Copies of this chain bind each other. A is one copy, B any other.
Amino acid sequence: MNSTIAKAFRELQLSICQQLEHLDGVGKFKEDAWERSGGGGGMSRIIHGNIIEKGGVNFSEVYGRMEDTIARKLEMEGGDFFATGVSIVLHPKNPFVPIIHMNIRYFQMENNWWFGGGIDLTPHYIRKDLAIQFHEQLRKVCDAFDPLFYMNFKKWADQYFNIRHRKESRGIGGIFFDRLNKDSGHGLDELLEYTLAVGNAFFPIYQQQVEATHTMPYDDANLEWMKFRRSRYAEFNLVWDRGTKFGLETDGRAESILMSLPPVAEWKYAYTPKPNSLEMETLKLLQQQSVDWLPLEG
């Protein structure tokens, strides 16, 4: 089973890279294969393109013995483990194109197994029509498997992608799930299918966002705002993201883990956008920390 899942994830990574190259039109992925001394390894694929300023699509498949000290950080006991996943972060060139993040992962240890993953969007400028479209697409993927998934995993994303020290969301959220196993009422086969459906939804969802925004003209002020928002993205990943922290604390491959960081980030002391500006409109939405993008119709 483990090798079946890893194979499906590896194929997904490859097909997403091909689709992204086609979408970008210029950038080509560079491959960087790596091995893990304890067992397994991965393949990082990095792009610098015309639409995507800096992007990474990682695959990993690792296994071996997990020491108790590390297992305790995951609230588990040590033992033989297997883990595989695909992880994507794309930082676009045009400030009106959103940053996107996708991750799917499978973990197996002794009699324990689970899936985790999600897709979330970080627009530098939030456009309500595109935010609604994004969440509608995620709801559709979720509803095909379980009527509770979207509601639960949307809430989880809002809680997870919170830059707590800034009292701001990282972006407009999306879905986030972890430790999804048979307690959900679904078996391994079905949850694999759901996780792959999330993975397969990534490209068409991002394509729509890109096509709606990438030809919009922008000026230096828009670029400044993008670099400012990127500093918040870096803060979230380095301070709060549990995957990043776990990876760095357990001597994971720093370059692959930190591939998520923006190409350039700018910190300004106590900066606030002008009242009634597009920037302020976005900031106010982020400060709500959770927006119900798809309210139930009355």
Q: Which residues of B contact A23 (CB under 8 A)?
A: none
Contact A259 B254 (CB under 8 A): no
Across the two chains, which residue of chain B brings its CB closest to A32? B270
A50 close to B (CB within 8 Å): no
Contact B264 A258 (CB under 8 A): no
Determine how many copies of this chain the complex contains. Answer: 2
Q: Which residues of B contact A238 (CB under 8 A)?
A: 234-235, 238-239
Complex formed: what's the CA distance from A266 to B259 in Å? 12
A side interface size, CB within 8 A: 33
8 Å CB contact of A248 from B165, B254, B259? B165
> CB within 8 Å of B: which of A247-272?
248, 251-252, 254-255, 257-259, 261-270
Given contacts A56-B269, A269-B46, A270-B32, contact A235 B258 (CB under 8 A): yes
Q: Which residues of B contact A56 (CB under 8 A)?
A: 269
Complex formed: what's the CA distance from A15 to B259 in Å? 42
Q: Which residues of B contact A93 (CB under 8 A)?
A: none
Distance of A58 from chain B, by nearest CB (Å): 11
8 Å CB contact of A270 from B252, B255, B261, B263? B255
Mask: chain A, 34-51; 1 = CB below 8 Å from B; 0 = not? 000000000010100000
A65 close to B (CB within 8 Å): no
| Interface core residue of A258, A266, A269 (most chain B CB under 10 Å) | A269
Mask: chain A, 192-236; 1 = CB below 8 Å from B; 0 = not? 000000000000000000000000000000000001000100110
Distance of A87 from chain B, by nearest CB (Å): 14
Across the two chains, which residue of chain B brings its CB closest to A269? B46
Contact A266 B263 (CB under 8 A): yes
8 Å CB contact of A264 from B165, B239, B265? B265
Mask: chain A, 160-183; 1 = CB below 8 Å from B; 0 = not? 000011100000000000000000
Distance of A155 from chain B, by nearest CB (Å): 23
Distance of A243 from chain B, by nearest CB (Å): 13
8 Å CB contact of A258 from B46, B257, B267? B267
Complex formed: what's the CA distance from A234 to B264 in Å? 12
Distance of A91 from chain B, by nearest CB (Å): 10
Q: Which residues of B contact A164 (CB under 8 A)?
A: 248
Distance of A208 from chain B, by nearest CB (Å): 27
Q: Which residues of B contact A266 (CB under 8 A)?
A: 263-264
Q: Which residues of B contact A165 (CB under 8 A)?
A: 248, 251-252, 254, 257-258
Contact B227 A264 (CB under 8 A): yes
Q: Which residues of B contact A259 (CB under 8 A)?
A: 269
Q: A54-B267, A265-B265 are in contact. List 4 more A-B contacts (CB 8 A).
A: A165-B251, A227-B264, A234-B238, A238-B239
